[in-house]
Structure 1
């Protein structure tokens, strides 16, 4: 039996039954979402009311203009003139809904979407300080003449990499919390721990203690990173989702710049830790004034709360009924029963979801191995190892400013150009930059003099950071966009676990790899991983301008037509 899903915000109800086709008809009088279905057995048609989604019989006199549905899923309007006051519109086979013109006429209030983005971006400011801290503080901690705590080279590498190991552990716990508690409650648990860890770091007097506290900061980052991203993805309207999500990346890069600027002063690593502790206080208080994300609420079977949350983030003048209906249709009738560990695994092992998840894992892990993390973790040591006449600390501020600039470009173009072009083009340039760093160290190590190329290290790092500021946020946003709502939290958490582990291995092995192959060999290996991201990015579908439900629906349809396209 062919099935056709036809929805319209016009008051007119439209249907026609032909053979064994099932025709779906809709109407809305600014009150309810209606659907009528007629099967080949001449069973009654039904209307679905949006507030409780209950079926009610529809009188045959309500059926107006005819519509035919072909077996290949294409909807064809029959007997409806173009420009009719009650046009019939169909959902295209590629998943994009042509009723967007009706939606354009509705008024969306973005006030609370913007407010939530500002609140959660402050959490990403804190995340930026966590990962930018070693890049500017390790020279002080590894100074043999210090009267404070001293770290040897192995301890320094561990200090820089423990946040990634902690992040993997935190993503495991965060995945459980995200499914059970939701994004908002997970953040309310993680933020106080972040503040406590920064305060402990400021007053620690033992090497093992500061290492342990860096691990704790990684654990809380494993909570915060997926929770903030998923919250923004699920509350944002599809027309602005890329921009709002991109703001998180921009402010996270501001966190790097912030800690770089602090590290370039005479404050010292302890006082900088105290400043970073204060960053987490404002978002913790503000979260009490925001509701839970509507899609997570639907997965818990709390549909009425989800409707209120949509109204909160869309405004009272926006009809959020079709969006809520699309969410409930995709999640399913037994949403709350899908939250068990075994059920989540079974859902992720469905062929279409598994192929998408595998591709996202490959792209995400390779992006962690591309050398970007090495450059940000060892910014000052790398610049100090060159023969260039550069002030390493001033250079870190330049690098931090460029990070912010790249994400601002991302914000300007992500919802205009699309995800895939940004990812592919930025990683192509990033590959060349990492290879260029390798080339500089190769000349320095073989000839002993690379002073004539003194401009190359900083230039390569600046261009690399700029390109990653444009393309790296795409890796994060497609993780949430391409996974269906029912497994989004678990899937993203799994991806982050593997990314954090890859980052830990990368940072921990950089001194060993540099010693065995030279800095040039290490960076050339990283450039190969960066190029592999380009190849994987070409396999990703474009998600710009589609709702999360449209993206999942299109993926499932492509999988049913050809498994290789899933």
Structure 2
């Protein structure tokens, strides 16, 4: 490693964060392939429903179990995600997750009964739960501070092929096996791609591989980059943490970690209870109950969400996390309020155009959520926890997110039977609380190294 640095010293050195290198772009692409796996796993059940019901003769309740059991697997994967990412490394954890995803897809493709179908779905859920933590953490740890927000948010951008997958394959790929092939492709891309990208330099430093950490950083920043300052900061911060014992779950509840924990868990709870999965999973049913075409409505959602997500990614390292979050949540509040108002007007028979109002509300909600609230909580989660507790903290935050997702997706139909208008007004109220939460507690992390962010979170207490 010393030879590499001395050889590079004869050439002009560039600031380490001057630009994104080809290897950094490749590493990010390989990592976010896991998010495409996530999208396919979630989106698979909708277009494949008619084919699976016909092929295997399942009842609707059996298919409902198949559709929802992945969330249980994801929660198990989330519980273990931090420990596995610390034990195996970020790359090793992604490899491990993809093995479960491939086994799960094959079990679904070859299943002859409901049992193997559920086992396959549970396996893909486990893999997705693990990836949902390790992907944003890996990207945050390999990216320079001036690009970290946009690169980590790319994890959210690539989720939107899921929406396209659900809508446009419902007719073109409604056979079970052909949908499974679509799901295995990104798994194989990530498995192969991981051979060509470096391990996280911060994880290598954490496990005492100092030369490997510097070599990884030099590869990521470019041969002509000056990595001295960044490498020294990682080394100094890691050595300060070596004095601390390995942290368990109960250690996370120390006062010094309180601010990080409240922000990380709070954003995930508010993200889920703001109604995103109610709209994402049941958009078609919402449009139909409001009296609007589900095909037109879901297609319009994709047309709005994809460019807005890209816009949010581009703005994150310019406007900052907090301003983008506040604009995003204000939009979700307005969207939920408009949807609730459309159902209220429909119930009271006061306005014939309430279905159009429901469409407007869903589009405002979807576009606003995609702008910031969809991706930024994951970005912040990957930034605010010190590396000695990042594993256990990340597991807790990810479990909370999946648990919230299950609660909302399970309870939404019951809430809608009680009152569709009341349900969306409740979601709007949660969005209002989220605005206050962001203003009072969420830090701005733009343009700061991970070590600077984590030191400031500790000093907050």
* TM-score normalised by structure 2 residue count: 0.90
Distance change (3 Å), C-alpha of 1:499 and 1:107: closer
User: Which residue number corresponds to residue 144 of structure 2?
Assistant: 237
User: Which residue number corresponds to residue 469 of structure 1?
Assistant: 370
Aligned 8 A contact 1:402 1:462 in 2? yes
Aligned 8 A contact 2:108 2:180 in 1? yes
Which of 208, 212, 218 matches 1:311?
218
Aligned 8 A contact 1:141 1:151 in 2? no
User: Which residue number corresponds to residue 366 of structure 1?
Assistant: 270
Which of 255, 262, 266 matches 1:351?
255
Which of 415, 418, 421 matches 1:520?
421
In 1, Cα distance between equivalents of 2:390 and 2:158? 24
Which of 533, 541, 551 matches 2:434?
533
1:267 aligns to what SS in structure 2? Answer: coil
Aligned 8 A contact 2:107 2:119 in 1? no
In 1, Cα distance between equivalents of 2:17 and 2:138? 23
Which of 326, 331, 353 matches 1:429?
331
Distance change (3 Å), C-alpha of 1:556 and 1:191: same
- Equivalent residues in 2 for 1:370-385, closer than 5 Å: 370-385=274-289
In 2, Cα distance between equivalents of 1:106 and 1:222? 31
In 2, Cα distance between equivalents of 1:285 and 1:378? 35
1:378 aligns to what SS in structure 2? Answer: helix
Q: After superposition, what is the alpha-carbon deviation per residue over 1:133-156, rounded to whole angstroms, capped at 9, x for unaligned?
A: 345455x3798xx5654443x555
In 2, Cα distance between equivalents of 1:382 and 1:156? 20
Higher relative contact order (CA 8 A, sep 6+): 2
Q: After superposition, what is the alpha-carbon deviation per residue over 1:293-315, rounded to whole angstroms, capped at 9, x for unaligned?
A: 01111111111111111111011
User: Which residue number corresponds to residue 95 of structure 1?
Assistant: none
Structure 1 segments of 4 or more deviating over 6 A? Answer: none
In 1, Cα distance between equivalents of 2:414 and 2:114? 21
Distance change (3 Å), C-alpha of 1:457 and 1:158: farther
Aligned 8 A contact 2:37 2:187 in 1? yes
Task: Work out the number of aligned pairs and report it.
Answer: 449
In 1, Cα distance between equivalents of 2:92 and 2:145? 24
In 2, Cα distance between equivalents of 1:214 and 1:407? 28
Deviation at 1:234, TM superposition (A): 0.2
Is 1:125 the counterpart of 2:32? The answer is: no
Is 1:393 the counterpart of 2:300? The answer is: no
Deviation at 1:395, TM superposition (A): 3.2
Which of 235, 239, 255 matches 1:328?
235
Aligned 8 A contact 2:14 2:224 in 1? no
User: Which residue number corresponds to residue 114 of structure 2?
Assistant: 207
Q: After superposition, what is the alpha-carbon deviation per residue over 1:81-122, rounded to whole angstroms, capped at 9, x for unaligned?
A: xxxxxxxxxxxxxxxxxxxxx985985562211111111222
In 1, Cα distance between equivalents of 2:84 and 2:173? 40
Which of 341, 357, 380 matches 1:439?
341
Aligned 8 A contact 2:290 2:354 in 1? no
Deviation at 1:318, TM superposition (A): 1.5
Instruction: Specify every segment of 5 or more residues in structure 1 that has no aligned partner in the other structure, as ranges.
Output: 1-29, 32-101
In 1, Cα distance between equivalents of 2:272 and 2:38? 16
In 1, Cα distance between equivalents of 2:288 and 2:239? 57
Deviation at 1:409, TM superposition (A): 0.8
In 1, Cα distance between equivalents of 2:95 and 2:55? 38
In 1, Cα distance between equivalents of 2:77 and 2:432? 29
Answer 1 or 2: which has greater helix percent. 2
User: Which residue number corresponds to residue 74 of structure 1?
Assistant: none
Which of 164, 169, 193 matches 1:257?
164
